[in-house]
Chain A
Amino acid sequence: VTDSFADTLLEFRREFLSGAFERLAEMEALVGRMAGPSFEESLRKLGHHLHGLAGAGGTYGFPEVSAIASAGEEACAAALASRSKPGERELAEWSRRIRSIRAALRGPDAADADTEEARDEDTLATDVLIVDDDPEIVAFLSTVCEREGFQVRTASDLARARREVEARVPAGIFLDIGLPDGSGLPLVEVVRDLPGGDSAAILVVSGAGDFANRVEAIHCGADGYFLKPLDVGALFRRLHHVIARRSLAPPRILSVEEDAGDAAFVREVLEAAGYDVRACGDASHFAADAASFRPDLVLLETAFAGETTGYELARYLRQEEGNATLPIVFLSARGGPDDRIAAIRAGGDDLLAKPVSPALLLATVAARIERSRFVNRILRRDPPSTLLTPAAFGSRLAATTERLRRSRQDRAALLVFDVDGLAAINEVHGHAAGDRVLAALGSLLTRRMRHSDGLGRLRGGEVAFVVEEMDGQEARQLVARLGGAFAAISHSGEEGDPFRASISAGVAGFGPRVHDAGQWMAAAQTDLEETKRLRKSDASAGRNSGKRPRRSPGAAPAFDVSRLPGPSVLSTRRPPRGPSG
Chain B
Amino acid sequence: MRVLIVDDEDDIRRIASLSLSRVGGMEVTDVASGAAAIASAMANPPDAVLLDVMMPVLDGPGTLAALRADPKTSGVPIVFLTAKAMQPEVERLKALGAQGVLTKPFDPMKLPDLLRGILAGP
Interface residue ranges, A against B (CB under 8 Å): 1, 5, 8-9, 12, 15-16, 19, 48, 51-52, 54-60, 63, 66, 70, 73, 271
Min CB gap B34→A, angstroms: 16
9 A-B pairs, CB-CB below 8 angstroms? A8-B22, A12-B18, A51-B54, A51-B83, A55-B9, A58-B106, A59-B12, A63-B105, A73-B83
B-chain residues with CB within 8 Å of residue A66 when the two chains form the complex: 83, 104-105
B6 to chain A, nearest CB (A): 13
**Contact (A59, B104) CB under 8 Å given A8-B18, A12-B18, A70-B83:** yes
Give the contacting residue for A58; candidates B10, B56, B104, B109; CB below 8 A: B104
Consensus secondary structure, chain B interface: loop
Contacts of A54 in B (CB 8 A): 83, 104-105
Contact at A56–B11, with CB atoms within 8 Å?
A: yes
B107, chain A: closest CB distance, angstroms: 8
Expressed in whole angstroms, the Cα–Cα distance for A51 and B55 within the complex equals 10
- Contact B104 A9, beta carbon cutoff 8 Å: no
Query: Nearest Cβ distance between residue A122 and chain B, in whole angstroms?
Result: 28
* Cβ of A20 to closest chain B Cβ, rounded Å: 8
Q: Which residue on B lies nearest to A66, using beta carbons?
A: B105
Taking A8-B18, A55-B11, A57-B105 as known contacts, 18 extra A-B pairs with beta carbons closer than 8 A to each other, sorted by chain A number, are A1-B23, A12-B14, A12-B18, A15-B11, A51-B83, A54-B83, A54-B104, A55-B9, A55-B104, A56-B9, A56-B11, A56-B105, A58-B105, A59-B11, A59-B12, A59-B105, A60-B11, A70-B83
Check A5 against B23 for contact (C-beta < 8 Å): yes
- By a CB distance below 8 angstroms, the chain B residues around A57 are 105
Are A12 and B15 within 8 A (Cβ)? yes
- List the A side residues contacting B106 at CB < 8 Å: 58-59
A-contacting residues of B (Cβ < 8 Å)? 9-12, 14-15, 18, 22-23, 54, 56, 83, 104-109
Query: Interface of chain A, helix or strand or loop or mixed?
Result: helix
Residue of B nearest to A20 (CB): B11
CB of B50 to closest CB in A, whole Å:
13
Instruction: Report how far A60 CA is from B9 CA in the complex, Å.
Output: 13
Least CB separation from A67: chain B residue: B105
Chain A nearest Cβ from B53, distance in angstroms: 10
Q: B52: nearest residue on chain A (CB-CB)? A: A55
Closest to B21 in A: A5
- For residue B23, which residues in chain A have a CB less than 8 angstroms away from its CB? 1, 5
Min distance, Cβ A19 to any Cβ of chain B, angstroms? 6
- In angstroms, Cα B108 to Cα A157, docked, is 44
> Chain B: which residue is nearest A63 at the CB level?
B105
State the CA gap A12–B15 with chains docked (Å): 7
**Interface contact B108-A59, CB-CB below 8 Å:** yes
- Please report the C-alpha to C-alpha distance between residue A73 and residue B9 in the assembled complex, in whole angstroms: 15
In the complex, chain A residues whose CB is within 8 Å of the CB of B83:
51, 54-55, 66, 70, 73
In whole angstroms, what is the CA distance A66 to B11 when docked?
13
In the complex the two chains form, is A9's CB within 8 Å of B11's CB? no
B14 to chain A: which residues have CB within 8 Å? 12
Q: Which residues of B contact A19 (CB under 8 A)?
A: 10-11
Contacts of B107 in A (CB 8 A): 59, 271
Contacts of A5 in B (CB 8 A): 18, 22-23
